[in-house]
């Protein structure tokens, strides 16, 4: 379950494009107003190194840059398989190798001290059949974690330690990942806590509404 550097870049581009898909579809259906507001920022994608360190993640692009990002990824844009509650299911085949993933933004985010600026946070669960990787949980937190620090994710009464590097987090004990996904399927929320390199502590709460359906749909496409 090791993500190579090329996948880190590809995931960043694909997820940027994924969050631009609904907006681009709406723009194609109706003409834009004369003074359209700027598109909200989209997030980069996390990649998981449960035991080995990956390359540094790409910087956060904006949704307006998504078409260019998709072009860099070989012209491959992710396809929205379906939106299920708070989770979207997507698929793409950069370089001819299929990727399926479910992704969501947090329903609430807090910082301590309060109101500290940060990039968007995302939780994302991916499968890569060519590498025999399934339901790999990754979190992008929106700031560089404190070096050598751990984060945690609480799902109901279960708590899991997360390995961190740069702005990404992945389950520390890879043997627990299947149990973590099962807990997420059955749970109502996942609460991610961590600390930035500057000492800011964060709490991100992800609604798990629709996750099970989104994962089933993504997994079905990557069988």
pTM: predicted TM-score of the whole model, two decimal places: 0.71
DSSP label of 174: G
The pair of structure tokens assigned to 82 is 């379906």
Q: How far is CA 124 from CA 112, 171, 211, 215, in A?
A: 24, 12, 10, 10
- DSSP-based three-state secondary structure for 161: strand
Pairing of strands 99-104, 87-92: antiparallel
Residue 13 predicted with pLDDT over 80: no
Residue 88 predicted with pLDDT over 60: yes
Strand partners for 165: 168
Residue 75 predicted with pLDDT over 80: no
* 56 contacts: CB under 8 Å, gap ≥ 6: 166
| DSSP codes of every residue in 60-96 | P-BGGGHHHHHHHTTTPPPEEEEEETTEEEEEE-GGG
Fold category of 5-30+42-51+62-221 in CATH: Immunoglobulin-like (2.60.40)
The pair of structure tokens assigned to 182 is 């099962």
Residue 45 predicted with pLDDT over 50: no
Do the Cβ atoms of 163 and 137 come closer than 8 Å? no
Residue 20, pLDDT score: 55
Q: Where are the domains of the chain?
A: 5-30+42-51+62-221
Task: Provide the percentage of residues in the chain whose pLDDT is more than 70.
Answer: 66
**Residue holding tokens 């969501």?**
104
Residue 60 predicted with pLDDT over 70: no
Do the Cβ atoms of 204 and 152 come closer than 8 Å? no
């Amino acid at each position: 379950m090791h993500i190579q550097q090329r996948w880190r870049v590809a995931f960043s581009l694909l997820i940027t494009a994924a969050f631009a898909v609904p907006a681009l579809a709406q723009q194609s259906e109706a003409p834009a107003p004369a003074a359209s507001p700027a598109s909200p920022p989209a997030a980069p994608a996390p990649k998981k190194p449960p035991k080995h360190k990956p390359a540094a993640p790409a910087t956060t692009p904006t949704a307006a840059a998504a078409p260019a990002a998709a072009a860099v990824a070989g012209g491959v844009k992710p396809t929205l398989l379906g939106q299920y509650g708070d989770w979207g299911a997507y698929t793409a085949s950069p370089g001819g190798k299929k990727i399926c993933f479910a992704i969501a933004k947090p329903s609430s985010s807090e910082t301590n001290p309060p109101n500290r600026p940060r990039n968007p946070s995302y939780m994302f669960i991916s499968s890569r059949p060519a590498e025999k990787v399934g339901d790999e949980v990754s979190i992008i937190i929106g700031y560089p974690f404190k070096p050598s620090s751990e984060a945690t994710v609480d799902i109901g009464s279960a708590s899991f330690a997360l390995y961190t590097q740069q702005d990404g987090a992945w389950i520390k004990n890879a043997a627990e990942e299947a149990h973590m996904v099962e807990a997420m399927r059955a749970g109502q929320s996942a609460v991610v806590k961590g600390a930035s390199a500057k000492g800011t502590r964060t709490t991100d709460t992800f609604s798990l509404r629709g996750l099970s359906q989104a994962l089933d749909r993504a997994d079905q496409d990557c069988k």
